[in-house]
Amino acid sequence: MKKHWKPTSLISSLSTSRPWRSYTEMLRPEVQSLADDISSMKTRGAGRIARASVRGLMITASKSVATSRGEFIAEMEAASKALIATRPTAVSLPNGVRFVMHRLSKAASSGTPLQGLRESVIKSGEEFIQRSLEAVKKIADYGARRIEDGDVIVTHCHSSAVVAVLKEAARQGKSVKVYSTETRPWYQGRITASRLEEAGIPVTLIVDSAARYFMKKADKVLIGADAVAANGAVVNKIGTSQVALAAHEARVYVFVAAETYKFHPESMVGKLVEIEERPAAEVVDKSFLDSHPGVKVRNPSFDVTPSEYIDLIITERGIIPPQAAILVLREEFGWLPSEGGALSLGEEF
């Protein structure tokens, strides 16, 4: 008699607090390299790392030499946990993994043979990547409608969705000027500035601490998101909350551009978004740390901006107030408490 897996079994088991390298003995070299690129921030941006993680699952499936369904599922589960552990805050990554693994779980539950399980992973991975890319195009269309001719806009960090909105507004003939914070310590704001320059959009790069100084010149703040909680709070690159606070003080609108796969389903039942803390050496040289052993360096990668400092969230499903995030989560993901109290994602992405 064949063993059948419950639809919730794979999803429920994906949460992990182990470092991703503890899974490397179970990963293919190509997936190890991909996970290392995500962890080291060679691959950056919530959308990019989500798509990269899904590609990792597709590689694992296509090159698996498993001879049984059980071996294949164990291999996929190990790859999933390793990829999720690379960047704990960016919820787009585990949501991408869950999108694929949920469909694998359903296929396994229905008794699909080994080759069918492999095909399920590859097909659902292709579907997620396509939806992800299409989402940015839709956000650009919705968001550009909220940009007015002559607007001065402040951005923070780098977001493909934000750049897409601004490029679409420019394509429509709207004249905009942008202040882009440099976004230490990885300077992702420079990526934003370079993309806007390439598109012919006037952009000025400013230091992070100058955001409040320039806010009096701004009409809108446009930022991305690494995660959106059920209460409408936005988790994004460290410094985002300070930019939003300065905008609130100056009575400047704050718009967030975020795909719905960045919404955090587990926040519906009170789970907090984990804030990643990265190495001190990203902030100061190792030589400084060695010569000043008494100096402690903190390097949180993200902060949380309360919903009251956000005016609108622009998604591929339309524009919503932050308070409606819970409705998006219920509609997009659906959930049921599993036997272990973890969440089982619904059918629809």
Residues identified as active-site: 157, 226
Could you tell me if 237 and 301 are in contact, meaning their C-beta atoms sit under 8 angstroms apart?
yes
DSSP H or E stretch at residue 327: helix 325-332
CA distances for 67 relative to 55, 87, 185, 331, angstroms: 22, 31, 46, 38
Q: Residue 100: name the closest of 130, 74, 120 by CA.
A: 120
Q: What is the number of other CB atoms lying within 10 angstroms of the CB of residue 293?
A: 7
> Percentage helix, strand, coil, to 5, in the chain?
50, 15, 35
Q: Which residue in the block uniquely carries the two structure tokens 């219920």?
A: 330
Q: What is the number of other CB atoms lying within 10 angstroms of the CB of residue 298?
A: 8
Could you tell me if 122 and 148 are in contact, meaning their C-beta atoms sit under 8 angstroms apart?
no
CA distances for 27 relative to 18, 53, 168, angstroms: 15, 13, 40
Q: Residue 240: name the closest of 261, 226, 260, 259 by CA.
A: 226
